[in-house]
Structure formats: structure tokens, C-alpha cells
Structure 1
């Protein structure tokens, strides 16, 4: 249980010390003061504290100890100074209610942990683990779940190597919940097949658009209210046998950033519509734009949880300027592992840990351009941490 991490000593939970010390203090104060000032009835708070911090059995033990302490301390006084049966019943009933409250709390914690496990398993099914150097790319990713009302978001990313080069996809399905995860899984499935088999990146983009429209039609036929769902995305292609270039297709998303010693610059943006909305125009999928990339430059892709993070004044997080400042202080910030950790920490600092949307930070760089970074976002690492109240974090390199 997470509550056991509140107070530990050498890896063992010592939360029971709080109600124990409270019980000892109440008994000591009651015995050391005059008969006109009795506090022994405060023993009722001991079981209440245990109900908040400890398990059911420990709470029951403290309820009994509190009752025994009350009887012993009250009996030590002459008859005219004793609290009597009224306070005895108070401590007795308070202990019973505390045990009941502890049982309800523990059951709720177990249910929440189970739901967290289900959520993490679902996300790991959608966001498959990526081996280090997968597709010839050094890469790192951080996923921060806003987890509003314990719902999952639709952020997704993947790398697919193939005979025509390595393709990278990052996107964000509109909305939350299992419907968003279902749409993300559909897009990732299409990307993994088309990204491997199709020689033309434009064909991969067209397949993604078609898959999103088919998914929308399916959900609409089922009578669900998310039949108008869409997804913003960035599709990158590293052509086989070509170095220093990357092909870019942007579906209504923020343009990728090239981060290197020379600073931060956005890659070309074709101004395409999100996946599922191409039917609103006659131009079809967005164009494939080719951009030059220096060997030491890392490509940074983020979802709108980063760019739309606000501080207390309502100002958006200045991603480009902040990353540029980080490079001035330490040029090594451009390495994928360091870069995603930097953006994660600065985003959380900017919004005070209050994320309004799920956030994904993904960085890739052709392998061999720099030493593989390990650390926050090191290879194969996975952790949970606070991204605000009730938020979880997933960090891998392949990532509060």
C-alpha cells in the first residue's frame, strides 16, 4: 500500500509509531496533571489516527490499547476525579468506528491499486516497450498521466524499423478513457504494418488517415457517442541509406523540434489536418516534407500536455525558449535521455505539478550521433511518480 511509504525506517513501515506516541502522550499528560484537568478521553483519537495510517489489524490493536489505557488511567484516580462510563463508551465506540473506517479505506486502496495495475497493463499493451537502439535510433520517452477521474488518455508513440527505413509516430487522440486508448491502439497497429511494408511515407500517412476514418465509422455504427473522434500526430521517416535527412508529415500537431548545439528550431510544418478530418478538404493527407538534420541534433516531439501547460497566471509553457536556455547552460541537454527529463521537470515546475492533460515527451536521434544517455529516462526504466495529485508517470528509453 502507498500509505506504508509515508513513514519508513530501513525499508520498513513505522506508521504505527504515530498512534503509539499519541497514546503514550495522552496517558502521560493525564497522569501528570491534576484531577481537575483530565485528558484520558483523548484516547479516542489514537484509534482514529491508526485508521488513517495503518491496516485493519493494527487499528484494532490500537483500539484495544486505547480502551485498556483509558481504564487503567481512569482507575488510578480517586472516585471523585474519574471520567466515568460516558467517556468509556466514547473510547469504545470510537475504536469500533475506527476499525470499520480502516476496513473501508483499505478496501478502497486495494481497488484503486487494482485499477492502477489495469491501467498500466493497458498502456503497456498499447505502448510496447522499445529496445535500446531500436531502428537505429537512440530514443527516450516520458509519459505523464493527468489521470483526471482515473481515466486514461490517448497519447501514443512508437518506432517501426523496416526495409525502407525507420519510421517514428507520435500522436494524441482527442478525448480520454478507453475509447481514446482503443483509437490509439488502432492507429498504432496500422502504423506498425504500413510503416514496415510501405516504401512511400505518403502511403503510410494515407493508411493512417484511412484507419482513423474506418475506426470512426465503426464506433458510430455501434451507436457510441465518440464517432467524431480524431487524432493529431507527427510521422517521421528516416530513409534507408540516407543520412542527415528526415521526412516529416504533420497531422494538425505541433511541429517536431530539432535540438542541438546550434539551438532549437522547428522542422517544416505542412499544415495538415488531424487524422480523421482529411475529408473536410480535397487535398488528401498532409504533404511529406524533407528536412536536413545535423548528426548531433535530437528530434523532440511532444503532445499538447507540454505546450498547453499553464502557470498560475495562465501563461503557456515556453517550450522552445526554455529548451534553448537549457542548452546554453549545458549543451549535453540535447541528448535524448537528458532532453526528455529536462522538459518533464520544467513542464511540471511551470504548471506547479497540475497537469490538465496527459503528456508525452519523445526524443529520437540517429544512433552513434552521441553517447546513449542513461538516467531519468534511461534504457528500459519504468517508474511511477507524482505528476500532481493522482498522477502517474511512465519513463522509458528505447523513458515526476
Structure 2
């Protein structure tokens, strides 16, 4: 589940998982690089700076006093410590200045102006730290909101969900975003297990909203409807209704559409795969016998079915599926990834060569990792669009 590129999907790094549970989350976010042996060492840089300034001032000549440089100490603390830590350094710096400036009366005295500079600098540093911490807390709150949206739109899929081995990698072109217009899901039901992957046209919250609407319809209809064609019709109707709602609100994204792939693993026929392709890149089937592409079909993207004048139900394509074969679905972030000279990523050829060299690569987890790494390597880590790699297969 990246400045652009791979976004981690397996939870926090091991060094964060080892930290005490009582450590506040905001401190984890601020100081995750300033921990040693389970304890924060954010106080060390400003303390070392303070000691260094005092020692240098002690050993410098009488005409070279740098004691007023202590004003830098609370400034450094404000960048890496908490509010109370910064305030403590502000007080410590002021007291250190008073002691050091008066200890050696034969030396040149910096006097009241530099004392005021140090004191006022400490106060300003504490205020700046308070503003910084407040901004971090708002950022963490927004990240929590974004994570909630992600879990709602792209719900976590348990291992073996719907009787399928599966693996997915989701990368956003915007490193600050957690979810975009790509969507996927698995829905088991009494008529078999259905799989949906799609890509909403456009970006931003409007694309996320459309993806959420389609996923909600898929999760209900894929469970209740016995025929895959009915599920496909409901998805088309939902996209049209969503566009009508956006138009009624006067939004400029009312003509939004979505490409998608709808699959069904029938419960009564384990050797068959049913598919409906809505203007999307057809899936690849990878197995011991090689790599083949499913038929593209003739269905238009979701939301554009009315362009034909008299929309007809999409045709369901049935393809043989041998034991051990994996179905690979990707969005155009993979197939349209370009290298420095503008060449598209040759997905099918790359996968075919890799599987021929190592048939174990057909395993979903290894397959999505291979495609992810190959895509990022091909485009130099600069994704032009949201990218989803999704692989499913019946257990061997």
C-alpha cells in the first residue's frame, strides 16, 4: 500500500516499530532521524553548539568575543526540539551569557545590547517553535484524514480474499497525495469472485469522488448479481448518474469518465475467466506457458456508453485460465511511463523475458514488485500519472 516515486505500503520502518508505544506520534514524525537506543537525542546538537561557543570564547583572545553567538542555540533548538525543549535552551542560553560575560572582567565585555539580543532571540525562537509544532500537528491531522480516505476508497484486502492470491502496488504521481483516480477491489460472493480495476479520467478530489462512487456500486452489485453483464451495466449507470449530479452542481468535471477492467472467477467453472474491458488496457495472463493478453473487447469507457446512441449491454468475454496462471492488471501509469527519449515502458515484453528466466515470477507478490521496479527504473522515478499494479490468481 514518494520527490516522486515509490510510496511505502508495508507500514513504518523497523526502527519506528521498535520505539516505545508511549512516545507521542508527533514526536515520532518530527524526530524519527534523531533517536538513539529508543531515546530522543534532539537536544544534543543545540547543547553541543552552546558548549562549543563557550569553549571557543574562553580560548579566544580578548579582542575576539563570540559569546553573543549563543543566540544561535535556541534557533537550532526551535528547528528540531519541542516547545518546552526550546524554551529550556532559551533560558539556559541567557543564563550562560550572563555567567560567561561576567566571569572574566579583564576581557572585553559584550554588555547589555548583546544580552538583550540573546534574550529576545530565545523568546522569538520559542515562538517560532510553537508555530512549527502547531503546523506539524495540522499536517499530521490532514495526513490522518487522507489515510482514512485511502482506506475508504482502497480498502485493505485480506490475504486470500475471495479465494484469490493477490498483491497490489499503488503509487501516486503526487508524492504528497495518498490516493488518486486509480481504484481496484476484490468482491467475493455467491456467484464467484469479481475483480475491478480502473482509472478515472483527470486528477484531484473529483477523481477520488468518482472512484469511490464506482467502487461502492461494484461492491454491492458484484455480490448480488449473478450475471457479470449486469454488474457492468450498473457501473455504467453509476458513472452516468455521478456525472449528472456533478453537472447539476455546476461543476466543470461533469464529463468525467473512467476506463476499467471487470473480471469474474466463476464459482462453478474454475477453468474460465470472464472479463469486460471498458476502454482499458487488456490484462495480461502470465503462467508457465508464457504471457498472453486477454481480448480487448468493444465496451466504451464508463460514462461514455450513451455516445453510441442506443447503448447495448457490453459483451462478456470468456477465456481459459489454467492452474497457476496469474492475471496482471495495470493502469496507464505503467504502460505510458516514458524514459528520457520518450519510449513507452514495454510491459509485456519485460514480463515475458523475466518469467521465461524465472517462472516463479508469476507469483502475484513477485510480479507486482517486478513491474513496479521496472516502471520506476524506466521513467527514472518520475511518474507522470497515478500507477497501479494489481495481480490475482487462483491458489495453485
TM over 0.5: yes
The aligned residue for residue 206 of structure 1 is 233
Give 1:349 deviation, angstroms.
4.1
> What does residue range 220-299 of structure 1 map to in structure 2 within 5 Å?
220-282=247-309, 284=312, 286-299=314-327
Pair 109,201 (structure 1): closer, same or farther in 2 beyond 3 Å: same
Q: Is the 8 A contact 1:35 1:77 kept in 2?
A: no
Q: How far, CA to CA, are the matches of 1:255 and 1:331 in structure 2?
A: 22
Give 1:87 deviation, angstroms.
2.5
Write the deviation string for residues 198-250 of structure 1: whole angstroms up to 9, x where unpaired. 23222221211111001111121122222111111111111222233212211
SS of residue in 1 equivalent to 2:390: strand
The TM-score with structure 1 as length reference comes to 0.84
Q: How far, CA to CA, are the matches of 1:80 and 1:15 in structure 2?
A: 34
Q: How far, CA to CA, are the matches of 2:135 and 2:382 in structure 1?
A: 24
Is 1:127–2:154 an aligned residue pair?
Answer: yes
SS of residue in 1 equivalent to 2:201: strand
Q: Is the 8 A contact 1:40 1:73 kept in 2?
A: yes
Q: How far, CA to CA, are the matches of 1:240 and 1:108 in structure 2?
A: 52
The aligned residue for residue 302 of structure 1 is 330
Pair 128,15 (structure 1): closer, same or farther in 2 beyond 3 Å: same
| Aligned residues: CA RMSD | 2.4
The aligned residue for residue 358 of structure 1 is 386
Pair 151,343 (structure 1): closer, same or farther in 2 beyond 3 Å: closer
Q: How far, CA to CA, are the matches of 2:354 and 2:54 in structure 1?
A: 57
Structure 2 residue runs without a partner (length 5+): 1-25
The aligned residue for residue 375 of structure 2 is 347
Give 1:315 deviation, angstroms.
4.5
The aligned residue for residue 4 of structure 2 is none
SS of residue in 1 equivalent to 2:202: strand
SS of residue in 2 equivalent to 1:223: coil
Q: Is the 8 A contact 1:6 1:15 kept in 2?
A: no
The aligned residue for residue 245 of structure 2 is 218
Is 1:100–2:127 an aligned residue pair?
Answer: yes
Q: Is the 8 A contact 1:151 1:177 kept in 2?
A: no
The TM-score with structure 2 as length reference comes to 0.84
Pair 265,19 (structure 1): closer, same or farther in 2 beyond 3 Å: farther
The aligned residue for residue 18 of structure 1 is 45
The aligned residue for residue 387 of structure 1 is none
The aligned residue for residue 376 of structure 1 is none
The aligned residue for residue 75 of structure 2 is 48
Q: Is the 8 A contact 1:146 1:359 kept in 2?
A: yes
Pair 241,19 (structure 1): closer, same or farther in 2 beyond 3 Å: same
SS of residue in 2 equivalent to 1:95: helix
Pair 302,188 (structure 1): closer, same or farther in 2 beyond 3 Å: same
Q: How far, CA to CA, are the matches of 1:30 and 1:329 in structure 2?
A: 67
The aligned residue for residue 35 of structure 2 is 8
Deviates more, 1:84-93 or 1:234-243: 84-93
Q: Is the 8 A contact 1:278 1:285 kept in 2?
A: no
Paired residue total: 368
Match of 2:170 among 128, 138, 143: 143
Q: How far, CA to CA, are the matches of 1:150 and 1:194 in structure 2?
A: 29
Q: How far, CA to CA, are the matches of 2:388 and 2:188 in structure 1?
A: 21
Give 1:286 deviation, angstroms.
4.6
